[in-house]
Amino acid sequence: MDNICRRCGSDEESIDHIFLHCPFPKAVWLGSPFGLRIPLDPTFTVSQWLQQVLKIDKTFKSLGEQVFSYVAFMFWTLWKMQNDLYFNQQVHKLEVAILRASKVCWTPPRPGNVKLNANVAWRQHHVRHGLGYVVRDDHGTPLFAVSKLGSFLSVSIGEASMIKARLLQIIQAGFINVTVESDNLEVIQMLQRKTKVADPYLADILKEIVSLVTGSNLCITFEYIPINVNVVAHVLARKAMSCVEQVLWPLTSHGWLMCVI
């Protein structure tokens, strides 16, 4: 009985079980920005898992580096949480595990700036999709974090519309130095005017965003970041899909978001 998993109580507390086969890590991997699935085979090992990750790294260089980095941090996070459970009887939530693995990657904006991180959770064959965004100051402290549902024709249209609305909100709050980060490379490159816009509806939205910068005293920059760095916005967007209406997440010290942000 001493070797039974303290989290699920249904299997031997082996390394493979702690990192892969226990329901908690399985949910963590699947809920990650990469949607990683653990094989159902109970004999599947951590060594085999790492070999699969390395194959991704060799085949898709940029994506593979992101996945490998995330997996490495997630292993450390799961091990630390297992120790918290074993020694302190502390049970962590799923969102905390997913976000902590990416916390070390995100960097605060320059002094005096605020940073907007946005993400869309697209659901194929659905009318409404998840939107998530968080605005943080130069200390990394969140000013607000929101999950909401929205209807739009494409991921890029949804993300561009959200960026436009949130920038207006930030400007109305009195901020003039803003960094916008997204893992949507298409939208960011269009806003940086590196690529042309084929969709006329999307083009109109992007023009309105650019007009906020042109001829004003605002300093707004647009930056692409990998999805494993944009994970807070990703989780907020995923949470929106289980929400009936917009949720402005509480920024209290005991809230799940503040535990990891």
What pLDDT sits at residue 135? 95
Buried b / exposed e over 2-16, threshold 16 CB at 10 Å, is eeebebeeebebeeb
pLDDT tens for the 261 residues of the chain, in order: 467 888 888 877 899 999 999 999 998 888 877 778 898 898 999 999 888 877 765 655 556 666 777 788 888 889 989 888 988 888 888 877 777 766 656 888 999 999 999 999 887 777 889 999 999 999 988 998 999 999 888 999 999 999 999 999 999 999 999 999 999 999 999 999 888 888 999 999 999 998 887 767 889 999 998 877 888 898 889 888 888 788 888 776 546 666 555
What pLDDT sits at residue 122? 84
Beta-carbon contacts of 150 under 8 Å, excluding residues fewer than 6 positions away, are 128, 129, 131, 158, 161, 162
What pLDDT sits at residue 61? 56
Q: Within 10 A of 189 (CB to CB), how many other CB atoms are there?
A: 15
Assess contact for 69 and 105: CB atoms under 8 A.
Answer: yes
Element (H, E) at 29: helix 23-31
What pLDDT sits at residue 62? 58
What pLDDT sits at residue 164? 95
What pLDDT sits at residue 198? 84
Query: What pTM, to 2 d.p., does this model score?
Result: 0.69
Domain ranges for the chain, please list them.
15-103, 114-248
The arrangement of secondary structure in 114-248, i.e. its CATH architecture, is 2-Layer Sandwich (3.30)
